[in-house]
């Protein structure tokens, strides 16, 4: 793994990109695509550990990986997430249990959903057999074979090719179990997540121990490793620009009170670098508790709580805010705005990629090499300016100089992020 993160002195051991973002003292150069999230999930079906699912596959055919059709209530949280998320690195927390089985087949994955699988075997006049696999009421596979030795595994079961086929109206698989989710399980997910790139990490946990684990992980990743992403969690007053603290509960029977984490995780991941979630319409499926007074909404903003409120019967995002409440000379009120964090995260991640892919170990650290890096950085920032993510950019705002060692390059830059219209102050003079 390459080095990365923030720096105080130019004394790092690992090669890599070390980037500091501070407030202005009062004190390939393509932009990477957004829309990638990761979440640890408790599921009744699916691979054990980390697996990838994209928006198109989730909408068109989620059953092979998730065990349910798109419209099933079990996928309601993920339907909220994929409204705005393009790709999810999902980690199944409870997937190392027992696989359901019968005399004919064994479920592909462990979990209780495997107990809803059955095989129907019908004999044909020519002596062959139709072996049909059902998941719940859904016919998911049909094979016509002379004997079990001809059967091939499908997305749901592997067959016992030594079995003797006989007509059956339905032989169910039984014994499938999920495993218990523990703190150690969450830690394994966080360890696995280090190998992936994403814009947001969501967690729907509500206990302080798990939330503090994720908070510590995110801060270490952002500041020590240089892995820039935002953590979306419920009632996590982190006082940190990398964390989005979801405030509202949902009122749906049987739903976790933290279920809005799914929508926010997807929406924050999918939000363009030049956009904001301010006043965004909640277009998900949950009934959101928006019973707040005006003074309570004001306090929520001051407390760094990402809050939904009622606007003429619609549920909308009050403020696209981070959980940061304590400001300093280096991190002022700008760092309370998620749009600002998306922009600086984009810069950090993409500049690190440019440096690693084009310059690290390949370009001589002389005047010409530094000019080349400067040109790429200017080109990259011009693209941000064209998108109106930053404004008033001038190439003179970036300097690339020799660092304190022969292999070090010192880059300084100044950016001015664009705001999003949020307040209208209007004076009307009547004559």
For residue 57, give the CATH number of its domain: 3.30.1490.450
| 255 and 399 inside one domain | no
Q: Which of 288, 317, 346 is the last residue of a domain?
A: 317
| 207 and 245 inside one domain | yes
Q: Is residue 428 part of a domain?
A: no
- CATH number of the domain within which 346 lies: 3.10.450
Q: Which of 172, 193, 210 is the last residue of a domain?
A: 172
| 302 and 347 inside one domain | no
| 272 and 398 inside one domain | no
Q: Is residue 353 part of a domain?
A: yes
| 23 and 45 inside one domain | no
Could you give the angle at the alpha carbon of 186 between the alpha carbons of 203 and 37, nearest 5°? Answer: 40
**Summary count for the chain: helices (H), strands (E):** 9, 19
Q: Is residue 426 part of a domain?
A: no
Q: Is residue 97 part of a domain?
A: no
| 214 and 290 inside one domain | yes
HSE-CB at 146 with a 13 A cutoff on CA atoms is 1
- Domain containing residue 345: 3-30+328-413
Phi, psi of 108 (to 5 degrees): -65, -35
| 154 and 188 inside one domain | no
| 253 and 269 inside one domain | yes
pLDDT at 25: 44
Q: Is residue 420 part of a domain?
A: no
The candidate with the shortest Cα–Cα distance to 99, out of 128, 124, 67, is: 67
The span from the CA of 386 to the CA of 278, in Å, is: 21
Q: How many structural domains does the chain have?
A: 3
Q: Which of 286, 317, 348 is the last residue of a domain?
A: 317
90 token code pair: 């999902």
The span from the CA of 272 to the CA of 202, in Å, is: 18
**Average pLDDT for consecutive 10-residue bins of the chain (431 residues)?**
64 68 55 91 97 97 97 98 98 97 98 98 96 97 98 98 96 98 96 96 97 97 93 98 98 96 98 93 98 96 97 96 94 92 89 86 87 90 87 89 89 82 62 65
Enclosing H/E stretch for 232 = strand 230-234
| 130 and 265 inside one domain | no
The candidate with the shortest Cα–Cα distance to 148, out of 168, 127, 133, 162, is: 162
pLDDT at 150: 97
Q: Is residue 98 part of a domain?
A: no
pLDDT at 130: 98
| 281 and 195 inside one domain | yes
Q: Is residue 289 part of a domain?
A: yes
The span from the CA of 42 to the CA of 33, in Å, is: 28
Q: How far is CA 357 from the centre of its chain?
A: 24
| 165 and 234 inside one domain | no
pTM: 0.87
Q: Is residue 264 part of a domain?
A: yes
244 token code pair: 């989005």
- CATH number of the domain within which 125 lies: 2.60.40.4290
pLDDT at 26: 42
pLDDT at 413: 86
The span from the CA of 346 to the CA of 73, in Å, is: 35
| 158 and 209 inside one domain | no
């Amino acid at each position: 793994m390459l080095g990365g993160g923030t720096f105080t002195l130019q004394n790092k051991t690992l090669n890599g990109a070390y980037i500091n973002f501070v407030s202005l003292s009062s004190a390939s150069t393509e932009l990477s695509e957004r829309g990638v999230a990761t979440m640890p999930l408790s599921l009744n079906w699916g691979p054990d550990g980390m697996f990838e699912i994209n928006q198109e596959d989730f909408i068109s055919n989620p059953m092979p990986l998730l065990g349910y059709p798109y419209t099933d209530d079990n996928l309601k949280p993920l339907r909220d997430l994929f409204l705005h998320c393009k790709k999810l690195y999902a980690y199944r927390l409870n997937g190392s249990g027992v696989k359901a089985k019968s005399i004919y087949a064994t479920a592909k994955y462990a979990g209780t959903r495997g107990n809803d699988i059955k095989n129907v075997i019908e004999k044909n006049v020519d002596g062959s057999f139709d072996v049909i696999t059902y998941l719940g009421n859904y016919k998911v596979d049909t094979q016509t074979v002379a004997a079990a030795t001809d059967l091939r595994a499908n997305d749901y079961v592997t067959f016992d090719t030594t079995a003797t086929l006989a007509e059956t109206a339905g032989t169910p698989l039984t014994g499938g179990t999920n495993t218990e989710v523990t703190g150690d399980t969450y830690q394994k997910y966080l360890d696995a997540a280090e190998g992936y790139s994403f814009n947001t990490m969501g967690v729907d946990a509500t206990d302080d121990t798990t939330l503090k684990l994720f908070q510590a992980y995110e801060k270490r990743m952002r500041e020590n490793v240089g892995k820039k992403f935002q953590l979306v969690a419920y009632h996590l007053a982190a006082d940190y620009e990398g964390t989005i603290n979801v405030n509202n509960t949902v009122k749906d029977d049987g739903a976790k009170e933290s279920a809005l984490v799914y929508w926010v995780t997807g929406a924050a991941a999918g939000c363009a670098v030049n956009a904001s979630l301010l006043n965004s319409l909640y277009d998900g499926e949950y009934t959101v508790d928006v019973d707040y007074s005006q003074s309570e909404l004001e306090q929520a903003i001051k407390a760094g709580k990402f809050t939904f409120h009622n606007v003429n019967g619609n549920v909308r995002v009050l403020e696209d805010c981070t959980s940061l409440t304590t400001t300093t000379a280096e991190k002022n009120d700008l760092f309370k705005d998620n749009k600002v964090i998306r922009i600086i995260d984009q810069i950090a991640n993409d500049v690190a990629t440019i440096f690693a892919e084009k310059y690290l170990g390949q370009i001589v650290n002389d005047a010409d090499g530094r000019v080349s890096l400067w040109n790429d950085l200017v080109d990259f920032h011009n693209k941000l300016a064209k998108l109106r993510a930053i404004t008033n950019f001038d190439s003179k705002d970036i300097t690339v100089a020799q660092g304190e060692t022969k292999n070090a390059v010192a880059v300084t830059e100044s950016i001015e992020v664009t705001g999003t219209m949020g307040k209208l102050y209007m004076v009307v003079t009547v004559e």
